[in-house]
A and B are shown apart, each in its own frame.
Chain A
């Protein structure tokens, strides 16, 4: 009789371990997906701020059409980009186009002092920070997941459940640096 209870206990324990690992993988994968959408949210916010900025700048700067056009183009590329890698790349392009605009604004004291302009500039900088943080968290989440699925005993369960290692979001260049617009 006692033996039956022992066997039952062991079976239950094994079932719990199997369940634990299944849930753990699922939780970590959900976190990865969620952090990916967080990057999306922030990029979209950025794209939404641009038209406003363009309007404001246009009111003061009449002749710098090419710089303004570059920003508009970059925004278009960002909005239509598919997949997070392309989106982040498009965002980097937008970032450098914005730098030109902010450099041009240097020569226009009225624009520089315009509260709306300042506000937008600050918003853009803070969304850029958030994009960077969202990417950092995305990679952190992948690291946690990969650590679990490539080390024992997690690796055994990963194989069992067909969970594969995930790729980090790798985009080179001076991406970590926030925009430094000095006045």
Chain B
């Protein structure tokens, strides 16, 4: 496996984040363009203005509230210091080891052993673990998992992944709206058939392409986060044991988790749904060589 320096990884992630945001914006405007021609070119300017305003506000709102959106979408609650003392202590230790600010800590109800991190930068980050992880993992194992999540924050993976998630959600919404609106189209036969076809093709293809992007990007990141997790704890054993516990455990699929946020998680919350994560065996193997 090629080695990536952390600083390169970070600037890479920042750059790609901005690039993606620009792409989202362009795609959105393009959608508006096609839609306006598909329906009525007379409304071109109005539709364009609306789509620009909508896409900008969608991007900005989700960028600045990504942590809250992610936490709310899985129904997680703020962890209390009294009840989850070990959780707090472990993360505090890890922030000392990594020199990072303390993220906000959340807990979500679930039998699965899982966790995720979100936010736009280390100063506005959250870590969320499942109650299953808190109950079933030993101290060092939990520490390994938390360290993995903290490295997602340190590497700015959270920003990038959040923006990708936002993009997936938005494109899905827009293509749905477009496809459905075709039903209500007035039956006049102006010369806009070609735009309707383009629109339909875009509406069908865009979500697929975007999910493929989403799948490919999150796998590499998991290896990188495992590696930096070990850099913080200097103890691969904890993470290995946690991964093995997830491997042998048979947990019911998580119903509350939207598929859009799956790549944010420590291990895939769904069975057999694409591969947002590299196989556990592979991750364990790489860690055991460290």
Contact = CB atoms under 8 A, between A and B. Distances in A.
B98 A130 contact: no
A40 B89 CA distance: 17
Given A122-B85, A136-B234, A176-B234, A129 B93 contact: yes
B97 A137 contact: yes
Contacts of A133: 93-94, 96-97
Contacts of B98: 137
B93 A35 contact: no
A141 B97 contact: no
Interface string A105-138: 0000000000000000010001001100110110
A137 B99 CA distance: 7
A140 B100 CA distance: 13
A126 B97 contact: no
Nearest to A35: B99
B7 to A, nearest CB: 10
A126 B96 CA distance: 12
Contacts of A126: 86, 89-90, 93
A134 B96 contact: yes
A38 B96 contact: yes
A89 interface: no
A134 B232 CA distance: 11
B12 to A, nearest CB: 20
Contacts of A136: 97, 234
B92 interface: yes
A31 interface: yes
Nearest to A134: B96
A137 B234 contact: no
A126 B85 CA distance: 10
Interface string B77-115: 000000001100110111011110000000000000000
A134 B93 CA distance: 8
A50 to B, nearest CB: 18
A176 B234 CA distance: 10
Given A122-B85, A136-B234, A176-B234, A130 B99 contact: no
Contacts of B93: 126, 129-130, 133
Nearest to A39: B96
Interface of B: 85-86, 89-90, 92-94, 96-99, 234
Given A133-B96, A140-B99, 19 more contacts: A31-B99, A38-B96, A42-B96, A122-B85, A126-B86, A126-B89, A126-B90, A129-B89, A130-B89, A130-B92, A130-B96, A133-B93, A133-B94, A134-B97, A136-B234, A137-B96, A137-B98, A137-B99, A176-B234
16 contacts: A35-B99, A38-B96, A42-B96, A122-B85, A126-B86, A126-B90, A129-B90, A130-B89, A130-B92, A130-B93, A130-B96, A133-B94, A133-B97, A134-B97, A140-B99, A141-B99
The 3 closest A-B pairs by CB, nearest first: A133-B97, A126-B89, A133-B96
